[in-house]
Chains A and B, each alone.
Chain A
Amino acid sequence: MITYVRKPIPDIGIDESAKRLTPEKIEKTINAVLKGTGARLKAYLETCVHCGLCSEACHYYLSHDKDPSYSPVAKVKMTLWEMVEKKGKVSADFIRQCSRIAYTECNRCRRCSLYCPHGIDIWYLMALVRRICLLLKVVPQYEMDTNYSHAATLNMMWLKQDDWIDTVQWQEEEVRMEYPTARIPFDKEGAEIMYTPIAPEPKFKPQLLAATAKIFHAAGVDWTMPSSDGWDNSDISMHVADFETMARVERKHFEAAVRLKVKRIVMCE
Chain B
Amino acid sequence: MYDFIKDPSLYNFVRGPLAWIAFFMFIGGSIYKIRELILLAKKEKTVIPFLDLKFSLRSILHWVVPFGSVNWRKRWVMTTMTFLFHICLVFTPIFLLSHNVLWHESWGITWWTLSEGLADIMTIIVIITCMFFFLRRILAPEVRFVTFTSDYLILAIAFVPFLTGFLAYHQLLLPYKIMVILHMISGAAMLIAIPFTRLGHMFYFFFTRAYLGSETGFRRGTDW
B67 at the A/B interface (Cβ < 8 Å)?
Answer: no
A43 with B148: CB separation less than 8 A: no
Asked if B44 CB lies within 8 Å of chain A CBs, one says: yes
Q: Cβ of B212 and Cβ of A52 under 8 Å apart?
A: no
From 34 to 77 in chain B, residues with beta carbon under 8 angstroms from any chain A beta carbon are: 37-38, 40-41, 43-44, 47, 59, 63, 69-72, 74-75
Complex interface: stretch among A15-23, A64-72, A86-94, A171-179: A64-72
Question: Which of B100-108, B117-125, B197-205 interfaces with chain A?
Answer: B197-205
Chain A CB within 10 Å, residue with most, of B72, B141, B154, B223: B141
Q: Mark A36-47, 1 if CB is under 8 A from B, else 0.
A: 011110111011
Least CB distance from A124 to B in Å reads 10
- Confirm or deny: B161 has a beta carbon within 8 angstroms of a beta carbon on chain A: no
- The distance in angstroms between the C-alpha atoms of A68 and B137, with both chains bound, is 13
CB within 8 A of A66: which of B142, B147, B205, B211?
B142
Out of A43, A53, A61, A69, which one reaches B37, CB within 8 Å?
A43
A2 close to B (CB within 8 Å): yes
- Give A121 to B46 CA distance when docked, in angstroms: 13
Q: Does B145 sit within 8 A of A, measured CB to CB?
A: yes
Tell me, in angstroms, the Cα distance from A56 to B142 when the chains sit together: 10
B129-163 near A? 1/0 per residue, CB < 8 Å:
00000000000111111111001001000000000
- B72: chain A residues within 8 A (beta carbon): 117
Residue contact B63 to A117, C-beta cutoff 8 Å:
yes
Query: Is B71 touching A117 in the complex (CB atoms < 8 A)?
Result: yes
B211 touches A121 (CB 8 A): yes
Q: Is the CB of B208 within 8 A of A119?
A: yes
A69 cross-chain contacts in B, Cβ below 8 A? 145
Find chain A residues with CB under 8 A from B211 CB. Answer: 40, 119, 121
Residues of A within 8 A of B198 (CB): 46-49
Q: How many residues of chain A are within 8 Å of chain B by beta carbon?
A: 35
Instruction: Answer yes or no: A251 CB below 8 A from chain B CBs.
Output: no
B216 cross-chain contacts in A, Cβ below 8 A: 114
Residues on the A chain within 8 Å of B200, using CB: 46-47
A110-126 interface code vs B (CB 8 A; 1 in, 0 out): 00011101111100000
A interface SS class: helix
Max chain A Cβ within 10 angstroms of own Cβ: one of B40, B215, B216:
B40
Known: A39-B47, A52-B142, A115-B224. A121 touches B147 (CB 8 A): no
Contact across chains for A50 and B143 when beta carbons are under 8 A apart: yes
Q: Does A233 contact B (CB under 8 A)?
A: no
- A120 is contacted by which of B140, B143, B208 (Cβ under 8 Å)? B208
Chain B residues with CB under 8 Å of A73's CB are: 142, 146
Q: Is A77 an interface residue (CB 8 A)?
A: yes
Q: Is the CB of B145 within 8 A of A68?
A: yes
Residue A51 interfacial (CB < 8 Å): yes
The CA of A68 and the CA of B146, in the complex, are separated in Å by 9
A115–B41 touching, CB < 8 Å: no
Contacting A at CB under 8 A, from B166-218, are 198, 200-201, 204-205, 207-209, 211-213, 215-216
Min CB gap B129→A, angstroms: 13
Question: Which residues in A have some Cβ–Cβ distance to B below 8 Å?
Answer: 2, 37-40, 42-44, 46-53, 55-57, 61, 66, 68-69, 71, 73-74, 77, 113-115, 117-121
**Could you name 18 residue pairs across A and B whose Cβ atoms are closer than 8 Å?**
A38-B41, A39-B40, A39-B41, A40-B47, A47-B205, A48-B198, A49-B198, A61-B142, A66-B142, A71-B145, A74-B145, A74-B146, A77-B145, A115-B71, A117-B69, A118-B204, A119-B63, A121-B212
Q: A118-B208, A119-B211 are in contact. List 15 more A-B contacts (CB 8 A).
A: A38-B41, A42-B40, A47-B201, A49-B201, A50-B147, A53-B71, A68-B141, A68-B144, A71-B142, A71-B145, A71-B146, A117-B69, A118-B201, A118-B209, A119-B212
Closest 6 CB pairs of A and B: A119-B212, A39-B41, A39-B40, A68-B145, A52-B143, A38-B44
